[in-house]
């Protein structure tokens, strides 16, 4: 086992590796001259253990081996790590809760789409006649192969009620489907952004709101 004892001459502010070296130093001229000079003021104090030193360099050297300083740093590091671990745990818990809520919402949407009512020929013809056999979007005459669609899509909370149905030519129906799918993709992307780590970030909330408003404006512009 190594001998960790330090032999010091406080008058000269020197450390020796052995007692023999210290004794030799105490007999030397340098030491004699040093002790004949008034001791310098010990104005440099260790903020952890309170020990004072006459020279800044001595304090700097002391801090490297000060047990109190080492323990203080270790305790502070442990405290910070504990806080980080708590934050990670809280974030993961909230992320899982949001993921579960998203999956449940997705299942409800799928179930709702699966319950889509079948529209009979009479209803189909009646809606076309109410629109004077013209497309609900471009207002051109409908062909026998027109499409019936929801004014507000089921995926956005619409219903199968006849009041929510409209007759569209195939071109306008395709355009409406593309627009709705783009809006749905933007909403999904916004939700995924939140799930990936930007929880409670106001920028994310603003981004999601802007995307939803953009989708709503697109649908209004096309279908009034």
Domains in the chain: boundaries: 1-21+40-67, 93-223
Residues sharing a CB contact under 8 Å with residue 84, sequence separation 6 or more, in sequence order: none
Q: Indicate the DSSP class of residue 151.
A: S
Checking if the pLDDT of 2 tops 50, the result is no
Helices (H) and strands (E) in the chain, counts: 7, 6
d(CA 27, CA 81): 52
Give the C-alpha separation, 23 to 20, whole Å.
Answer: 5
| pLDDT of 113 over the 70 cut | no
The pair of three-digit structure tokens given for residue 133, joined into one six-digit string: 């056999």
pLDDT at 209 over 50: yes
Helices (H), the chain: 19-26, 29-36, 56-65, 67-114, 121-130, 170-195, 202-223
Task: Determine the 3-state secondary structure of 221 from DSSP.
Answer: helix
Share of the chain above pLDDT 90, in %: 10
**pTM, 2 dp:** 0.36
pLDDT for 202 equals 47
Sign of CA dihedral 128, 131, 134, 139: negative
Rounded to whole angstroms, how far apart are CA atoms 7 and 163?
Answer: 97
Q: Residue 1 — very low, low, confident or very high, per pLDDT cuts 50/70/90? A: very low
Mean pLDDT of the chain: 76
């Amino acid at each position: 086992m190594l001998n960790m004892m330090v032999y010091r001459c406080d008058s000269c502010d020197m450390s020796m590796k052995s007692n023999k070296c210290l004794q030799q130093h105490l007999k030397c001229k340098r030491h004699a001259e040093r002790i004949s000079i008034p001791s310098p003021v010990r104005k440099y104090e260790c903020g952890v253990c309170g020990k004072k030193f006459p020279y800044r360099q001595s304090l700097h050297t002391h801090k490297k081996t000060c047990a109190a300083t080492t323990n203080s740093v270790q305790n502070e590091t442990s405290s910070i790590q504990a806080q980080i671990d708590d934050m990670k745990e809280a974030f993961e818990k909230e992320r899982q809760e949001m993921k579960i809520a998203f999956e449940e919402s997705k299942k409800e949407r799928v179930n709702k789409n699966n319950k889509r009512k079948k529209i009979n020929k009479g209803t189909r013809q009646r809606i076309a006649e109410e629109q004077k056999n013209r497309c609900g979007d471009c207002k051109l005459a409908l062909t026998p192969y027109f499409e019936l669609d929801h004014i507000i899509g089921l995926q956005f909370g619409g219903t199968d009620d006849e009041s929510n149905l409209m007759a569209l030519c195939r071109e306008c129906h395709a355009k409406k489907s593309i627009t709705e799918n783009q809006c749905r993709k933007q909403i999904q992307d916004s939700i995924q952004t939140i799930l990936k780590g930007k929880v409670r970030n106001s920028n994310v909330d603003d981004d999601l709101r802007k995307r939803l408003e953009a989708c709503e404006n697109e649908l209004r512009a096309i279908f009034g």
